[in-house]
A and B are shown apart, each in its own frame.
Chain A
Amino acid sequence: MKLFLISISLKTVAALFVLLGMLASCTSTTVDEFRQGETGIESNESIVILGRRQASDYETRSEFVSCVGKHINRGENAIHVIPEQEFIDAMFPWFEPRTAPLRTRDLERLMAEDVIANKMMEFGIRYIIWVDGFTETTGRAGSISCTIGPGGGGCFGFGTWEDDANFDARIWDVSTMSAVGIISTDATGQSYMPAIIIPIPLIARVEANACSRLAAQLKSFVHGS
């Protein structure tokens, strides 16, 4: 009878974990595209993806920018992406948070500087993509308490939270010095952390999903498909 009860409770716990795992993997992502001009890229041309860092209360994480770049740089129809920091350092001091161009007419003014125009040509930059956004964690609920004693330790409880990733990508064509489109990504997902002796994080990969979906859309946008 005792063994039967243990077996039932183990099955219940396992089922709970499977259910939570399925729920945790549920991330919904919406991608919107707004095209303003024709696009296309030659094999000898490159793009650069830069994070916007002008806002006072947040800044676009360089890890997200790098993630989008890596996705575009590989696979079918891969596009050569110049790493963000390499580009910013090479263009110093024109692409720092305070000096970076905010509009295409600022880019026009910038390209009038010979040093900038020559560097752009050296890199073979055809498109500059400005990524702006952040991931916000909301709706934290539950609690987990852990204890440790001479006989051992453990945790018990349950925690949950929601992540919401919102990112915009604005694409500028360097050859025409004009904005050619905007792609917006909104991803949300619920994460869970049950703790029975050890905490088991069941994390919704919200930012990772936003990154891969945005990258896929950008790749097809730049190719003009």
Chain B
Amino acid sequence: MGTIGMKKFKVLGSAVALLSLAALTGCGVSNVVIEGNFPTPNINKLPISVAVYYDDALRDFSYIEYSETGREEFNIESGQSHIQLFNAVLPAMFDQVIYVDSIEEAQEYGVDAVFAPAIEEFQLALPTKTKLDVYEVWIKYNMRLLTVEGDYIADWVLTSYGKTPTESFRSVESAINDAAVVALRDLASSFSLSFAQVPEVRDWLDNH
């Protein structure tokens, strides 16, 4: 093989390698870390002190969306954004808020109650599957309010929903992030406004 032939072979080889790399990149799971800014609610504070406990399941929460062929398509990490949201909302809701690493630790601070949120379910709807012009996110939570001894005061389910329209020149990852941020704001609004109306919480607040 001559020098020119060898060069052509190398160029062809490089092109094949690049195409293969592009194809492999297209097959990989896309990581989406939810990021957003959450304002402090304008609400009247409840005169109680609350210890907040985020367990590892909440801190490290991530959801995997599978393609129609069963391939991992998106890995959505929202644990830290949930913590950021609760950290913005809870101090506006209660007179005193402290953060603890275990429910037992709350006893040392002599607080009125311990709040421990948990994510039960996360759902994502992509326009490619729903044929709608919106990206949608649903999140189902289990909100738990406990005594410092660990007994339940209230245990209720809360759902949040967020959507964002499809737009030209916006990546799928960015649209998923926007829909998730809307869902998180929805959680903050419904949680902060409905907290005192949860029957068990209302009874507990009346007797407190």
Contact = CB atoms under 8 A, between A and B. Distances in A.
A95 to B, nearest CB: 9
A91 interface: yes
A94 B134 CA distance: 24
Nearest to A115: B42
Nearest to B133: A58
B186 A59 contact: no
Interface in A81-98: 89-94, 96-98
A57 interface: yes
A96 B39 CA distance: 12
A103 interface: no
A59 B182 CA distance: 13
Interface of A: 57-59, 61, 89-94, 96-99, 115-116, 119
A92 B181 CA distance: 14
Contacts of B44: 115
A119 B165 CA distance: 30
A94 B42 contact: yes
Interface residues of B, number: 21
B193 A119 contact: no
Interface string B26-42: 00000000000001111
A59 B193 CA distance: 24
B134 A93 contact: no
A77 to B, nearest CB: 32
B186 A92 contact: no
Contacts of B192: 93
Nearest to B162: A97
B-side interface mostly: mixed
Given A58-B133, A115-B43, A93 B185 contact: yes
Contacts of A96: 185-186, 189
A93 B165 contact: no
Given A57-B133, A91-B42, A93-B192, 7 more contacts: A57-B132, A57-B134, A59-B163, A90-B42, A97-B186, A98-B189, A99-B189
A112 to B, nearest CB: 12
Contacts of A99: 189-190, 193
B76 interface: no
Contacts of B40: 92
Contacts of A119: 42
B134 A59 contact: yes
A93 B182 contact: no
B188 interface: yes
Given A58-B134, A98-B186, A99-B193, A92 B165 contact: no
A117 to B, nearest CB: 11
Contacts of A90: 39, 42
A98 B190 contact: yes
B163 A92 contact: no
Contact of B165 (A61, A89, A94, A97): A61
A61 B43 CA distance: 28
A93 B189 contact: yes
A93 B44 CA distance: 12
Given A92-B39, A115-B44, A58 B165 contact: yes
A208 to B, nearest CB: 15
A84 to B, nearest CB: 14
